[in-house]
Amino acid sequence: MTMQIIANGSVTTPRGFLAGGAYAGIKTHGAEKKDLALLVSTAPCAAAAVFTTNKVKAAPVIVSQEHAATGRAQAIIANAGCANACTGPQGLADAREMAALAAAKLHLSPQSVLVASTGKIGMAMPMEKIRAGLHELVVTPDGGHDFAQAIMTTDTRRKEIAVAIAPAPAAGAGPGYVIAGCCKGAGMIHPNMATMLAFLTTDAAVEPAFLQTALRHAADLSFNMISVDGDTSTNDTLILLANGQSHLPVIQPATPEAHRFQSALDFVCMDLARAIAADGEEATRLIRVTVRGAASLADARRAARAVAASNLTKCAVHGADPNWGRILCAVGYSGAQVNPDLLECHIGDVLVVQNGTPTTFDHAAARAALSGSEVAIAVDLHLGEHCATAWGCDLTEGYVRFNSEYTT
């Protein structure tokens, strides 16, 4: 597959998408922070979505689940500063009104608009601010960066990517198509989606059922393989809109072009997921955990996610302490099939455990491997051929302090 990352790309890089962001006053820390976002396609889209597995679902999740069930959508309205979660019937009415307001502005039906919110739980949506802010918000082909900024809460930076996929050889010369995305997330992040919003756009034409299957596959490789603090949120939303404005043939399942599309979508989602883990609240190090030699893919994922989510391992990484026992402990309780006598573990390039027992490794080298901005941990179960990677971050004093004061 010929794929190229587009410099300074955003969700409006694919043809036919417009976006914008504005400050509506939902967040309380000043007009320098946008908090209301709008994304729209100039043409109807095939739509796919994945939502939180938390049984306490925010109102915008419920509304978007209803609207996305048709497999079609054309716009997304999103806000930061208020999650509109645990807000009862009024919260549900507010989420529906947000869809209707965006639809009226864009001359669409409310059912074609998806809604996403992030921020504090239990706070009523300030609808008068939404109405006023939406009136002032302008969508343009260059508004993707403003959209990405407006969905941020405790994030320290925008998280965006766009990739160009050259046309298949059979399609001849041409511009191909683009897949782009942005996301937010820094806390309440845990596998099975997390306090994360992610929005993907493509100008490819994709068969709707395959689009949903492809998005679920990509989510399982990416957003479901990250953990910051072990908390799964009420608002997690991942949406993919495909508007077909590349004017290439519709991508059908079980075809070479479907494989090319899936590979590119996986890449985009993994890049965004890694960016969330790297931007964990008050984190100083990204942790990459790779588990090899598992008896099944499910086992590889279980073990990798358990290590990435282990608070003791995260603390050891923060202190650059090569405490490999915490890593193997997490593997052991992960639910994966394990033979303790076969376990092998590396911290960076340093082999610290072989055949289930410690090696006489260089502690200084292991500490050095734990001291960089990205820490690699690898475990081989020696039970099969399956492999998976998960991402996390260190647990710092700053995280505890920040989250002890979040609502005050």
Q: What is the pLDDT of residues 61-72, one digit of tens each?
A: 999 999 999 999
- Residue 35 to residue 126: CA distance in whole angstroms: 12
**Which residue intervals of the chain bear CATH 3.10.20.340?**
286-404
Q: How confident is the model at residue 398 (pLDDT cuts 50, 70, 90)?
A: low
The one-letter code for the residue type at 77 is I
Q: Percentage of residues in the chain with pLDDT exceeding 70?
A: 89
Q: Taking the C-alpha atoms of 130, 280, 301 and 320 in order, what is their torsion angle to the nearest 10 degrees?
A: 180
Per-residue model confidence as pLDDT tens digits over 235-255: 788 999 999 999 999 999 999
Residue ranges matching CATH 3.60.70.12 in the chain: 3-278
The pLDDT of residue 164? 97
Active site members: 195
Does pLDDT of 188 surpass 50?
A: no
Least confident piece of the model among 139-153, 279-293, 320-334 = 279-293
> Residue 280: left if φ>0, alpha if ψ -120 to 50, beta else—which one?
beta
pLDDT for res 232: 52
pLDDT at 186 over 60: no
Written as six digits, the tokens of 406 are 């979040």
The pLDDT of residue 227: 74
pLDDT of 358 above 80:
yes
Q: How far is CA 354 from CA 235, 336, 345, 377, in A?
A: 42, 19, 7, 14
Residue 127 has pLDDT above 90, yes or no: yes
Check pLDDT > 90 for residue 179.
yes
| Contact between 148 and 160 (Cβ < 8 Å) | yes
Q: Average the pLDDT over 376-395 and give the result.
A: 95
Token pair for residue 20? 């914008």
pLDDT of residue 408: 54
- Span 195-203, mean pLDDT? 88
CA distance 331 to 306: 6
Mean pLDDT of 192-201: 74
pLDDT at 236: 80
Asked whether 292 and 305 are in contact (CB, 8 A), the reply is: no
Among 52-56, 92-96, 200-204, 297-301, whose mean pLDDT is lowest?
A: 52-56
> Rounded to 5 degrees, what are φ and ψ at 281?
-50, 120
Task: Return the CATH superfamily for domain 3-278.
Answer: L-amino peptidase D-ALA esterase/amidase (3.60.70.12)
Q: How far is CA 249 from the centre of its chain?
A: 28
pLDDT at 194: 43
Q: Which two tokens stand for residue 93?
A: 């009415």
* pTM of the model as a whole: 0.88
- The average pLDDT across 4-8 equals 96
The pLDDT value given to residue 304: 95
Asked whether residue 375 carries a pLDDT value surpassing 80, the answer given is yes
| Residue pLDDT, tens place only, 296-305 | 999 999 999 9
* More confident position, 287 or 191: 287
Quote the CA–CA distance of 107 and 104 in Å, as a whole number.
5
Q: What is the predicted pLDDT for the residue at 131?
A: 97
Output the 3-class SS for the chain.
CCEEECCCCCCCCCCCEEEEEECCCCCCCCCCCCCEEEEEEEEEEEEEEEECCCCCCCHHHHHHHHHHCCCEEEEEEEEEEECCCCCHHHHHHHHHHHHHHHHHHHCCCHHHEEEEEEEECCCCCCHHHHHHHHHHCCCECCCHHHHHHHCCCCCCCCEEEEEEECCCHHHCCCCCEEEEEEEECCCCCCCCCCCCEEEEEECCCECHHHHHHHHHHHHHHCHHHECCCCCCCCCCEEEEEECCCCCCCCECCCCHHHHHHHHHHHHHHHHHHHHHHHCCCCCCCEEEEEEEEECCHHHHHHHHHHHHHCHHHHHHHHCCCCCHHHHHHHHHHCCCCCCHHHCEEEECCEEEEECCEECCCCHHHHHHHCCCCEEEEEEECCCCCEEEEEEEECCCHHHHHHHHCCCC
pLDDT of residue 399 exceeding 80, the answer is: no
Q: What is the pLDDT of residue 30?
A: 47
User: Between 320 and 119, where is the model more confident?
Assistant: 320
pLDDT at 214: 97
Contact 158, 120 (CB under 8 A): no
Residue 149, judged by CB atoms within 10 A of its CB (0-12, 13-18, 19+), counts as buried
Which residue type does 354 have?
Q
- pLDDT at 233 (0 to 100): 54
Taken in order 113, 116, 122, 127, the sign of the CA dihedral is negative
Q: Which two tokens stand for residue 397?
A: 């004093």
Could you tell me which residues come within 8 angstroms of residue 20 by beta carbon, excluding any fewer than 6 positions away? 37, 38, 137, 138, 139, 140, 143, 146, 147
In contact, 38 and 104? CB cutoff 8 Å: no
Q: Is the pLDDT of residue 45 over 50?
A: yes
Can you tell me the mean pLDDT for 24-42?
84
Q: Which of 84-93, 137-146, 179-188 has the lowest mean pLDDT?
A: 179-188
CATH fold, domain 286-404, is: Ubiquitin-like (UB roll) (3.10.20)
Segment 225-239 mean pLDDT: 70
Taking the C-alpha atoms of residue 188 and residue 237, their distance in angstroms, rounded to an integer, is 13
Check whether 185 has a pLDDT greater than 90: no
Distance CA 35, CA 25 (A): 7
Fill in the amino acid letter for 205.
A
